[in-house]
Amino acid sequence: MRIQTFDTTLRDGTQGEAVSFSVEEKILICQKLDELGIDYIEGGWPGSNPKDRDFFAKARSLKLKHSKLTAFGSTRMAKNPVHEDRNVRELVDAGTPVVAIFGKTWDLHVHRALGITLEENLALISETVAYLKAHDKEVVYDAEHFFDGYIHNSEYALQTLAAAKDAGADVLCLCDTNGGTMTDLLTEVVGVVRARFEGEIGIHVHNDGDVAVANTLAAVKSGATHVQGCINGYGERCGNANLASVIANLELKFGHQTIGPDKLQLLTPTARFIAELANLQIPHGQAYVGSAAFAHKGGIHVSAVLKDSRTYEHVSPELVGNRQRVLVSEMSGRSNIDYLLKDYPELAGRLDPDARRRLVDRVKNAEFEGYDLEAADGTVELFLRQELHPNAKFFELHGYEVMVVGGRAKATRATATVSIGTKAGDLVETAHGHGPVHALDQCLRRCLADTPGISDVHLIDYKVRVLDSKMGTAAKVRVLVEWSHGDHTWTTVGVSEDVIEASWEALVSALKLELMRLLETGTNVAEYCWTA
């Protein structure tokens, strides 16, 4: 069965805490959602703020191939004739082929929020829908608080739907606005509506009971043919139904058609693209699109997955544009190392069983010390390459010194001095930086300025985590540093009771790794290496 998809990330999603998009970002997201094959993209409320008004003005030039851009608003105000209502006129002037409007379903809201009679509210709904239809708009009617309204006054809740339907609404969308309806009740109510009304029945649920995706799927099972939600589950309070999960489940578990199997492979890249613009990390364990959705850690699990992925994966990750991962940690066995080496075919054939056992032991010892190698792919790769070249040295530390000067009257300034030994002799450099880590980085780079590849490695992210807060200032800290060289990125880790020492370890590991790589590719770094 064909199920319509309606994305409200750009409207309802931006009502979530810490979610905000510029006009330019909203345009980019529109294009991505169109590529994904979403049927309706709700762009915002043009009558509510200048940003959304500007967005719809700029969106007129969008050449969407599949999606229908949708403007959102409410029924007319009780005091205004519909043709004189400013917000309704803004919806028409937005120039979108589709308009989604919400109206009051719950008699409590009619009396308390609007302060009008039930009959007057029915007139607001029917007149607004009819006005929009007269202006050639496809109308999605969002029945706000429908399930709460149905519980308290089912007859009136159904009358509000009838008012919208009789006026020409193309979709009747049932909204669980407070997000607290449980699945069994929702299923029953959707079934009643489906039996009463022909045409498209939609579902729009919030996640306050942590069942938004389940409720959306249950609604489809009861006859809904139009699903609304936000990519990554963004939205007010606890968020909306995660449309990425809804789509994947409808396609892969229910056998319905939403965006189609070819487009389904764009699901993970689209979810991560939107998360990047929102500056919010997707939870690692988020279903289907999270980085850990198909990640395996325990040695027994990994061994089984290597034989047949169906043993611990409910679908193939490639179907949704994700990939299988095997994590290296204190729970690792030989199977984890064997899987990891699939990413390094040039190294795999040169590591014998004894070397692989040593790697497992080294990984487990490092994890015991707090290194968190799951998040430090660069450090793991360094371990692999050091196993191949156990005696290779490019430099060794003699010592470093850092001085930080700051105060209210001046900006903080750090000065570092680093002394290292190289094949060419001892080197000492002093440098200033914006902080102690930056100063140390500058010193080491100056010491290794003549070594190939060093200038191409750039620090792009730096994170510190306290491992045992009960120890106070004596607690160990873990420093994760992300690096890049062109399009290639990796992360290294350092652990110590001293944040500077942990940072230094992560810094040194990154540069050593790059030199080890160059050693393998034949780049002329052997002359800088003590024993190649």
Residue 400 is part of which domain span?
A: 396-528
Long-range contacts of 156-159 (CB under 8 A, 24+ apart): 156/105, 156/107, 156/118, 157/105, 157/106, 158/192, 158/193, 158/196, 159/118, 159/122
- What's the whole-model pTM score? 0.72
Burial (CB count within 10 angstroms: exposed 0-12, middle 13-18, buried 19+), residue 396: exposed
**Does 411 lie in the same domain as 442?**
yes
Residue 142 lies in a domain: yes
Q: What pLDDT, on the 0 to 100 scale, is given for residue 252? A: 98
Strand ranges inside 383-506, DSSP E: 396-407, 410-422, 425-433, 458-466, 477-485, 488-496
Residue 393, C-beta contacts closer than 8 angstroms, at least 6 positions apart? 529, 530, 531
Tokens describing residue 93: 């002037």
Residue 48 lies in a domain: yes
Compute how many other C-beta atoms are within 10 angstroms of the C-beta atom of residue 188: 12
Residue 348 lies in a domain: yes
**Does 202 lie in the same domain as 324?**
no
Looking at the 3D structure of the chain, how many domains does it have? Answer: 3
**Does 336 lie in the same domain as 274?**
no
Residue 260 lies in a domain: yes
**Does 436 lie in the same domain as 407?**
yes
Residue 169 lies in a domain: yes
Do 140 and 70 meet the contact criterion of CB atoms below 8 Å apart? yes
Q: What is the CATH number of the domain that holds 197?
A: 3.20.20.70
Cα–Cα distance measured from residue 64 to residue 45, given in angstroms and rounded to the nearest whole number: 19
Q: What is the CATH number of the domain that holds 421?
A: 3.30.160.270
Q: Give the domain-ending residue among 278, 308, 343.
A: 278
**Does 409 lie in the same domain as 336?**
no
**Does 501 lie in the same domain as 404?**
yes
Residue 511 lies in a domain: yes
Residue 389 lies in a domain: no
Tokens describing residue 65: 């191939």
Q: Give the domain-ending residue among 245, 278, 311.
A: 278
Residue 388 lies in a domain: no
**CA dihedral (62, 64, 67, 68) positive or negative:** positive
The runs of H, that is alpha helices, within 1-82 are 23-36, 50-59
Q: What pLDDT, on the 0 to 100 scale, is given for residue 331? A: 56
**Does 306 lie in the same domain as 249?**
no
Q: What pLDDT, on the 0 to 100 scale, is given for residue 532? A: 47
Name 242's bridge partners: 230
**Does 253 lie in the same domain as 140?**
yes
**Does 234 lie in the same domain as 321?**
no
pLDDT along the chain (532 residues), means of 10: 98 94 94 97 91 94 96 96 95 97 96 94 98 98 98 97 98 98 98 98 98 98 98 97 98 97 94 87 90 79 79 92 72 65 76 84 80 78 87 87 76 87 89 90 88 83 77 74 84 91 92 85 69 55
**Does 369 lie in the same domain as 318?**
yes
**Does 410 lie in the same domain as 346?**
no
* Secondary structure of residue 253 in the 3-state scheme: coil
**Does 421 lie in the same domain as 300?**
no
